[in-house]
Structure 1
């Protein structure tokens, strides 16, 4: 079986499911450019152990429900469903892989897929016919912990599982709320400088630099006042690194609402 890459995608606003944008068009064509996986493992910024009693969990439902974890959006958003099947056996495989690396993960038979998972997947695999399992981040844990999480997941790439980190390469919602820019507003310099630095460091395979991006990159704190939306990038990096070497390919870059950069990367 062909080894799959790991991916990082920026999921942006939930409205990407409905609104035209370059990022939406990119994701809508991405599935056709990838080998078809037997299952997808998503690590979403919106499934956070910090809000679940500190427990890192993986979804184990055979039919995970669609979670509408947002407010203030049109009724059409709340009517959307992504009825992909789950994969309890894959969830147990994830638990075992984590245990083998000294990481504790619990299977959750009830939790569904949040919008960080189902919005991009509804574009990548609109038929919802590929099983999906979702693993939480832990925003209280270090970038290096999330990279190690990805390393533990790496064997799944040889088992037909597509590992997808879903977050946002930039994520300052206060800046958005203050200005309310239109969807096609250009990015300010503080966003462009950060995404360019990330692209440069990933192209160089500079793992330590990227793991320290919030502190080291220009305007790191401006783009990530909280770390949750960059942590899935680190998991995807860990899953895609081979023999301590990271090969990254920038698949897409665009910006929505001026401050939400929509970069996507493949690793491995």
Structure 2
């Protein structure tokens, strides 16, 4: 007897620094709790990471994606970290079908899993026993494009695919101040608080966040913000709202707030 998979939630993770892959802290414990609370183990993960920010929409199709260490200045242990999840090449055709007529390229060997994906999945699925594919964030497209793509990708959630977007709502590395620890600047709080109020009530208006007076400081470049629009699009397209979890800040100018579709 074939059973219908449970619908997977729409998820956005504020991933912060790569070192979170190795840390036991307030955020990584929330990521682990997310994995434990899923309705059932997904058949695959489709990750939308801020760190695959290119001029096209593409999905990985390799059977064994490599662990990409796309950073420097961190401990050797992190540079040697491996997340050996299998790939999910079958997702390429499914993604192409649900987002039609948008073109989606296939990446057979140039990418893999970057730290926006594996630093989070190391806690959500620590045994690396769920296949993973990545979807690129197209740097050449406007915000509406990414929101709309999320709306259409949401159909995959009903077939057991966890679509996990990874970035940061507030991400300004030029303004990082280690002395601020886990507190946020005034402008970071204003933007993050506005985002929380909007996303938990009207995710369909997520693109309007870029019109906020503090958006220039909170989102100086779009790469870490755009993954949020995929999760907002998934929720809005399904008539859902989002719940915030794993809230906080890193070094004043990075928001660690994460979201999932309301239960």
Bin of the TM-score, shorter chain as denominator length: over 0.9
**Deviation sequence 1:151-188 (CA, Å, 0-9, x none):** 22111011000011101111000001xx3336x34111
Match of 1:92 in 2: 93
The runs of 5 or more residues in structure 2 that have no matched partner are none
Q: Structure 2 vs 1, CA of residues 254 and 185 (structure 1 numbering), >3 Å: closer, same or farther? A: closer
1:62 correspondence with 2:63: yes
In structure 2, how many angstroms separate the alpha carbons of the residues matched to 1:32 and 1:144? 32
Residue 95 of structure 1 deviates from its aligned partner by 2.1
Q: Structure 2 vs 1, CA of residues 56 and 242 (structure 1 numbering), >3 Å: closer, same or farther? A: closer
Match of 2:118 in 1: 118
Residue 146 of structure 1 deviates from its aligned partner by 0.2
Residue 206 of structure 1 deviates from its aligned partner by 4.9
Match of 1:247 in 2: 241
Residue 267 of structure 1 deviates from its aligned partner by 2.2
Match of 1:104 in 2: 103
Matches within 5 A, 1:9-24: 9-24=13-28
Q: What is the RMSD of the two structures over their aligned residues, measured on CA atoms?
A: 1.5
Residue 17 of structure 1 deviates from its aligned partner by 1.5
In structure 2, how many angstroms separate the alpha carbons of the residues matched to 1:3 and 1:246? 13
Match of 1:260 in 2: 254
Assess if the C-alpha contact under 8 Å between 2:185 and 2:252 holds in 1: yes
In structure 2, how many angstroms separate the alpha carbons of the residues matched to 1:206 and 1:31? 23
1:32 correspondence with 2:36: yes
Matches within 5 A, 1:1-268: 1-35=5-39, 36-49=41-54, 54-98=55-99, 100=100, 102-110=101-109, 111-176=111-176, 179-181=177-179, 184-208=181-205, 210-215=206-211, 217-242=212-237, 245-267=239-261
Residue 96 of structure 1 deviates from its aligned partner by 2.4
In structure 1, how many angstroms separate the alpha carbons of the residues matched to 2:22 and 2:179? 18
SS at match of 2:90: helix
TM-score between the two structures when normalised by the length of structure 1: 0.91
Q: Structure 2 vs 1, CA of residues 106 and 192 (structure 1 numbering), >3 Å: closer, same or farther? A: same
Residue 201 of structure 1 deviates from its aligned partner by 0.8
In structure 1, how many angstroms separate the alpha carbons of the residues matched to 2:23 and 2:256? 14
Q: How many residues align?
A: 256
